[in-house]
Structure 1
C-alpha cells in the first residue's frame, strides 16, 4: 500500500511545526529572563507617602497611621509590603484611598507611566491670574 500524501510535502509540514515549536521554546526562555521593572518602593517613595500622610489634607485614618509609624509601632515599608495588612488601623487607612489606588493600579497595568499616574492624581494648582468659571474679564466679551 502506498502512502496517500506527498512525502516531501509532509516532511515540509513537520519541519514547519518543529521550527515553530523551537521558536516557542526560545520565546519562553527569553520571557523567563525578564524581570519586573519595579523593585518596590524607594526611600524617596516612602518619604512622599509619609509627607502626604502627615499633610493637613490627609484623611483622619491616614493621619492616625502616620502617627503610629512616627511612634515606631510599624513602618511604611511594613505597610507597603503587606506585612501589616492584618492591622485594623492599616486597613482603615487604606480603605480611605482604595478607589484612587484601584484607579492608579489599573492605569499602571494598562501601561501608563507610573510618574504620570501619580501626577494625574494631584489636583491642578489654580493660579491667581486665571479666570475661574463665572468670572469674566473685560476682554471676555
Structure 2
C-alpha cells in the first residue's frame, strides 16, 4: 500500500513508540472482544461439519480473522488473563495469532476446526463469567 494512500492514512493511526504494548487497562473490553469474536465464529459455522468448513473459503477466512482478534485481545490482557479467567491455555491462545499470521500456510484445517468446536465454547463461557464478575465488582454488587 502506498504511503500516500488516503485510505491508509484514515484507517491506520501512526504509531511506533519503540515500546512493546502494555497489557490493556480495559480488561472488560478485552473480555468482551473475546466473547464477541467467539460468538461470531459460532454463528459462522452453525450447521457446518468439517467438510463444509474446509469447502467454504469465506467462512474459513472469517474464522481465522476472529481467532486472530481473540489472540490479540488475550495478548492485550497479558498476565491479567490468567487471574481473571484461570484454567485457559492463554499462552496457546496468544501463540495461535502468531501462527495464523506468520505460518498461515502450515495451519491444518482440521486443527482449526477442533479449536472452534472443542476449545472455543468453554473459553467463551469462562470469559462471560469473568466479565460478569468484573462488572459486578465495578458496580459494587
TM-score > 0.5, shorter chain as reference: no
Which TM-score band (shorter chain)? Answer: under 0.3
TM-score of the pair, normalised by structure 2: 0.26
Give the structure, 1 or 2, with the largest relative contact order (CA under 8 Å, sep 6 or more).
2
Structure exhibiting the larger radius of gyration computed from Cα positions: 1
Structure whose residues are more often helix by fraction: 2
